[in-house]
Structure 1
Amino acid sequence: MKENQAFRINGFLGILTIAVLGGLAFFMFLNTQIVIAIAFLVIAVLLASGITIVQPNQAGVVIFFGKYLGSIRESGLFLTVPLSTRRTVSLRVNNFNSKKLKVNDVEGNPIEIAAVVVYKVIDSAKAVFDVDHYEEFVEIQSETAIRHVATKYPYDTFENVELTLRGNSEEVSNELTAELQARLNVAGVQVIEARLTHLAYSTEIAQAMLQRQQASAIIAARHKIVEGAVGMAQMAIKQLENDRTIELDDERKVQMVNNLLVAIVSEKSTQPVINAGTLY
């Protein structure tokens, strides 16, 4: 199916024509020309059956005894094909919030995911005739696309070397939009945006994954601290040597580096032992 324009004329002109035919029928009836009066009346009733109103951002799909005749996209009052039925399709922007879906990411970890899909109908004929209840079709295909995209990527990676659901939300949203658009073309629906609204580990592994994230953060912080401590120790020894304040042999350099590393890397404040001399 493909949308095309239906026959229609201005509705006010159609109402005027119906009124004139009704007046002629009444006039003929008064002049005892019953057959002509009935003919005018039948024509007026037939034309009246074609009167339709289309609201802004809606389309009227005209069907004549099971045959698609076209769609009316303009808003207003119109006279179209008599004895036809009209189905109204909204052309307004709609959004669909999916339920929280429980799926496994590419690594097999159970996660909870949900998304919002913003869409609108661009082909009223496809929306009416190519699918049953296009709103339900959008919902089911949205959940299917969300599940498929979620299984292609890991929730998170602790090495930061690949695309993830949590770290690359923009790329994931773009892929979800493209896949959903491919699924909804048959329904004449345009996907404006599809974006994740909820993403979390499932409750049974949430605590374990939180501990893993904390461990990774601690390791990264320790790595940074050690790197800084080594640099500070090297700088201290180099400055002492340049100033020639103290002559340090290799053993004292090792001891100084050890003390500086312990003082900087330790989680608790160091408590130095002061040598005050001996009694004897």
Structure 2
Amino acid sequence: MKEKELTSTSGYAFIAAILVLWIFGGMIAAGAQAGLLATILFFVGTTLSMGLTVINPNEAAVATFFGEYVGTIRHNGLRWVNPLYRRRKISLRARNLNGPKLKVNDKMGNPIEIAAVVVWHVQDTAQASFEVDNYQKFVEIQSEAAIRKLAGMYCYDIIEDEDAEITLRDGSGKINEMLEHELTERLVRAGVGIHEARISHLAYSPEIAGAMLQRQQASAVVAARKQIVDGAVGMVEMALAKLSEKGIVHLDEERKAAMVSNLLVVLCGEKSVSPVINAGTLYN
């Protein structure tokens, strides 16, 4: 079922006609001999007044006639339609859905907490009214289902899967696009359009948060140490090359090994080193 526009008439002219009917009916009712005519005028005026409806900005009214959908009124202001039409107003404004924190498992089976914020609006009033039972509840349930599905397709972080191109934590831009696409496909049958969908909360579940934090810290320490060692080796290589180039001192292989060991201790150590002066030689 698709939305179709219902032609409506400005209600101001009908207000004037209704007032005229009621005034004449009252004047006639004042006479003792025209009660039937006065009743008819009052009845016609009251019936016409039932066709008046006010449509606010970003609002629509879905009209049915004895169970049959006849169209949607989208013109703002005071409008008049057939008094026998049953009208139901629907807001077309953008709405926020702040989803609850969901506990789900990511691709690797780790329990995580995830939540999303969805900005949506009704774009087809006929589908929203007749294709689903309650379109607002439909949006809530389908949004939760989409988030659960997305969380199970990807890992929380690249530490868990080094070959992963997209993760829930690092690929936020792509993840949001995929969430928006998934919601659009699920909610199109309810006549709902998606403005924006974003992950608002993402964290490990409390029972594994401590262990995962230690794992992340260990990985960070290993990465930092690797960078320090790479830099220290380069500096030692440069120092030996400079000493050899300028001819300051000639070192045999054993002395080079001792010098490399000392330099690496100085450059890679976490604390300041205390120099030890050797008054003799390496062999004494």
- Interval of TM-score (by shorter of Structure 1 and Structure 2): over 0.9
Aligned residues of 1:14 and 1:78 also touching (Cα < 8 A) = no
> How large is the Cα RMSD of the aligned pairs?
1.7
Q: Provide the C-alpha distance between the structure 2 equivalents of 1:107 and 1:38, rounded to a whole number of angstroms.
A: 77
TM-score, length-normalised on structure 1?
A: 0.94
User: Cα deviation per residue 1:5-62 (whole Å; 9 max; x = unaligned)?
Assistant: 2231111111112223334444555483444444333322221111111111111111
Q: What is the percentage of aligned positions where both structures have the same residue?
A: 51
Match of residue 103 from structure 1: 104
Q: Please identify, of 103-112 and 61-70, the stretch whose mean Cα deviation from structure 2 is larger.
A: 61-70
Q: Provide the C-alpha distance between the structure 1 equivalents of 2:228 and 2:266, rounded to a whole number of angstroms.
A: 11
Q: Please identify, of 41-50 and 15-24, the stretch whose mean Cα deviation from structure 2 is larger.
A: 15-24
Match of residue 190 from structure 2: 187
Q: Provide the C-alpha distance between the structure 1 equivalents of 2:45 and 2:3, rounded to a whole number of angstroms.
A: 29
Secondary structure at 1:151's aligned position in 2? Answer: helix
Residue of 238, 241, 248 corresponding to 1:235 = 238
For 1:108, the aligned partner's letter is G
Q: Please identify, of 151-160 and 222-231, the stretch whose mean Cα deviation from structure 2 is larger.
A: 151-160
Secondary structure at 1:165's aligned position in 2? Answer: coil
Gaps of 5+ in 2: none
Aligned residues of 1:10 and 1:77 also touching (Cα < 8 A) = yes
Aligned residues of 1:113 and 1:199 also touching (Cα < 8 A) = yes
Match of residue 51 from structure 2: 50
Q: Provide the C-alpha distance between the structure 2 equivalents of 1:127 and 1:14, rounded to a whole number of angstroms.
A: 31
Matches for 1:247-266 after TM superposition, within 5 Å: 247-266=250-269
Q: Provide the C-alpha distance between the structure 2 equivalents of 1:124 and 1:161, rounded to a whole number of angstroms.
A: 41
Gaps of 5+ in 1: none
Tell me by how many angstroms 1:271 deviates.
2.1
Q: Provide the C-alpha distance between the structure 2 equivalents of 1:181 and 1:49, rounded to a whole number of angstroms.
A: 38
Tell me by how many angstroms 1:268 deviates.
2.3
Q: Does 2:8 correspond to 1:8?
A: yes
Secondary structure at 1:246's aligned position in 2? Answer: coil
TM-score, length-normalised on structure 2?
A: 0.92
Which consecutive aligned stretches of 4+ in structure 1 deviate over 6 angstroms post-superposition?
Answer: none
Tell me by how many angstroms 1:269 deviates.
2.1
Q: Provide the C-alpha distance between the structure 2 equivalents of 1:233 and 1:93, rounded to a whole number of angstroms.
A: 63
Q: Provide the C-alpha distance between the structure 2 equivalents of 1:32 and 1:3, rounded to a whole number of angstroms.
A: 51
